[in-house]
């Protein structure tokens, strides 16, 4: 059954794979949709050893096979953690190169019997081994010689020994219980809301105070650099696009280029880095290009969804801190905003003191007496969006740390106002359900911790081996 393959023979296998394995549309992580006929060129170096594109394809095929056999899914815990399949294959191929290098360095040895056992367990559970059926299945399903497949299995077992050696994960009973609570427990709250906006009109300001605030907080009012551009859009279906791109270098300004190819020139006002462009929306790459471009020079084509943009920088403003007199209204608005937050916080603290001193349990009546908004939420989990409070796991953790009917001792300050929060109810810990599902939660925690440990290990091996991937666009 098993044809033992030495390391010296692997080079032959790699060349066999180059002709037998068909991967015409293999997409690398960088977005290159083919190998550019560069199979013999250097793709990466590891431990001083050079690997070509063909060498890398060996590990690409290994990744495809191990994933299809579900041998390599231990660390994939949720759909969200599983990337685009091409990206995943690329990542796995690099991972195998790192782990195989480490296994070779540490002289990890896999006996033939270990390879045979895994193959039998995978393909002939409770059945007698059939050599002919086995070989036919491997060639038909995976498109590789049997000895190549067996070498993949051998290297897989080597990698597993490295992972077992370096990845140590322990899960305590308390961790499992905490995780169970995290995923199953629900809470319900009531809160009093004190909006900042309602207090802005109560803020009194004198000129001296406002000037002092500006002097101490000048950087708050710093205006970012801005750029003004003219640009043309070349649509994807434009039959002259290639001619335009090839002749850009012949023109000294955008107007001449536009006249030659009958392009419409659009103008912008001054743009900051986060400002949208009319008809294009927010285009970080375009604005960055504009800042880097010399004035009146023509840019290279910039890809957008509908086609390409060619631009020129018309004018530019440096970052400045405006004078107080020029932005007095803006300083006043900012001052009022901060003062209203401070007033809301102080008011919430006073209300909390009154609630505690008077032992007030009916927050709804109390809020109505004080003319503040009162709300009760539905039940929610610790990672859920909470009506009125938003999606903030840290605040939810505070809520879940409270006891039933407890009012949190401090006001919570959010974007729109201050909140006084009371925990109305929290579901009990279900001991029976926990015991019935404990292994499931333990396994999930193990996989998550192991996944993080594996990332650390791969990072260490990458540094140890001096892995270097060459710039594919420059190959």
Per domain, the residue ranges of the chain are 7-168+453-474, 186-206+327-426, 223-317
Say what the pLDDT of residue 25 is.
30
Say what the pLDDT of residue 127 is.
82
Cβ neighbourhood burial of 4 (10 Å; 0-12, 13-18, 19+)? exposed
What is the signed CA dihedral for 458, 462, 468, 469, rounded to 10 degrees? 0
Distance CA 130, CA 166 (A): 37
**Angle between the N-to-C axes of helices 112-123 and 146-166, in degrees from 0 to 180, rounded to the nearest 10:** 100
Say which CATH class 186-206+327-426 falls into: alpha beta
Whole-angstrom CA distances from 458 to 70, 97, 99, 130 are 21, 10, 8, 38
Per-run averaged pLDDT (10 residues), the chain, 475 residues: 44 35 32 45 91 92 91 52 71 94 95 93 86 90 92 96 94 93 93 94 90 94 94 91 90 93 94 89 91 93 91 95 94 94 95 93 92 94 91 91 95 94 94 94 92 94 93 43
Whole-angstrom CA distances from 107 to 48, 69, 442, 465 are 17, 26, 33, 15
pTM of the model: 0.60
**How is residue 214 annotated by DSSP?**
H
Q: Return the closest-CA partner of residue 465 out of 37, 50, 29.
A: 50
For the chain, give the number of residues. Answer: 475
Same fold, 7-168+453-474 and 223-317: no
Say what the pLDDT of residue 262 is.
93
Distance CA 285, CA 263 (A): 21
Which residues lie closer than 8 Å to 224 by C-beta, 6 or more apart? Answer: 272, 273, 319
Say what the pLDDT of residue 39 is.
55
Say what the pLDDT of residue 278 is.
85
**How is residue 347 annotated by DSSP?**
H
Tokens of 426: 């929290």
Let me know: does 86 contact 27? Beta carbons within 8 Å: yes
φ and ψ of 25, to 5 deg? -115, 25
Let me know: does 232 contact 258? Beta carbons within 8 Å: yes
Distance CA 239, CA 242 (A): 8
Pairing mode, if any, of strands 468-469 and 42-46? Answer: antiparallel
Let me know: does 261 contact 246? Beta carbons within 8 Å: no
- Cα angle, residue 272 at apex, residues 271 and 276 outer, rounded to 5°: 65
Whole-angstrom CA distances from 385 to 379, 388, 392 are 11, 9, 7
Q: Find the distance separating the first CA and the last CA of the chain, reported in whole Å.
A: 41
Let me know: does 320 contact 222? Beta carbons within 8 Å: yes
**Angle between the N-to-C axes of helices 85-105 and 146-166, in degrees from 0 to 180, rounded to the nearest 10:** 70
Say what the pLDDT of residue 209 is.
92
CATH number of the structural domain 223-317: 3.10.50.40
Say which CATH class 7-168+453-474 falls into: mainly alpha
Say what the pLDDT of residue 336 is.
94
Let me know: does 89 contact 56? Beta carbons within 8 Å: no
Pairing mode, if any, of strands 42-46 and 226-235? Answer: unpaired
């Amino acid at each position: 059954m098993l044809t033992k393959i030495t390391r010296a023979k692997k080079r032959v296998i790699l060349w066999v794979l180059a002709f037998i394995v068909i991967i015409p549309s293999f997409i690398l992580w960088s977005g290159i949709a083919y190998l550019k006929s560069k199979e013999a060129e250097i793709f990466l170096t590891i431990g001083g050893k050079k690997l070509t594109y063909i060498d890398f394809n060996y590990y690409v095929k290994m990744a495809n096979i191990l994933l299809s056999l579900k041998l390599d899914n231990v660390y994939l815990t949720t759909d969200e953690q599983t990337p685009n399949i091409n990206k995943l294959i690329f990542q796995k191929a690099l991972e195998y190169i790192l782990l195989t290098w480490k296994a070779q360095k540490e002289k990890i040895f896999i006996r033939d019997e270990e390879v045979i056992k895994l193959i039998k367990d995978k393909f002939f559970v409770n059945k007698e081994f059939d050599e002919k059926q086995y070989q036919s299945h491997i060639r038909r399903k995976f498109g590789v010689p049997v000895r190549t497949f067996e070498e993949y299995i051998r290297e897989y077992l080597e990698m597993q020994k490295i992972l077992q050696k370096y990845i140590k994960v322990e899960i305590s009973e308390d961790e499992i219980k905490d995780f169970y609570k995290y995923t199953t427990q629900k809470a319900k709250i009531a809160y009093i809301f004190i909006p900042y906006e309602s207090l802005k009109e109560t803020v009194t300001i004198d000129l001296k105070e406002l000037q002092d605030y500006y002097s101490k907080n000048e950087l708050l009012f710093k205006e970012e650099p801005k750029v003004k551009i003219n640009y043309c859009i070349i649509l994807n279906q434009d039959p002259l696009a290639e001619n335009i791109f090839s002749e850009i270098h012949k023109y000294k300004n955008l107007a001449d280029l536009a006249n030659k190819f009958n392009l419409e020139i659009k103008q912008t006002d001054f743009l900051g880095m986060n400002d949208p462009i009319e008809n294009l929306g927010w285009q970080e790459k375009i604005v960055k290009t504009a800042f880097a471009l010399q004035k009146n020079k023509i840019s290279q084509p910039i890809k957008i969804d509908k086609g390409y943009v060619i631009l020129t920088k018309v004018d530019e403003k440096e970052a400045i801190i405006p004078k107080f007199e020029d932005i007095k209204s803006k300083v006043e608005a900012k001052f009022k905003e901060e003062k209203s937050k401070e007033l809301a916080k102080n008011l919430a603290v006073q209300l909390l003191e009154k609630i505690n001193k008077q032992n007030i349990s009916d927050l709804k009546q109390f809020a109505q007496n004080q003319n503040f908004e009162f709300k009760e939420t539905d039940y929610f989990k610790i990672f859920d969006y909470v009506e009125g409070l938003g999606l903030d796991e840290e605040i939810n953790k505070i809520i879940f740390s409270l006891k039933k009917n407890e009012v949190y001792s401090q006001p919570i300050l959010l974007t729109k106002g201050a909140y006084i929060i009371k925990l109305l109810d929290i579901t009990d810990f279900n001991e029976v359900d926990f015991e019935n599902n404990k292994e499931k939660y333990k396994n999930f925690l193990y996989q998550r911790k192991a996944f993080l440990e594996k990332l650390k290990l791969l990072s260490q091996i990458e540094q140890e081996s001096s892995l270097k991937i060459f710039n594919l666009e420059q190959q």
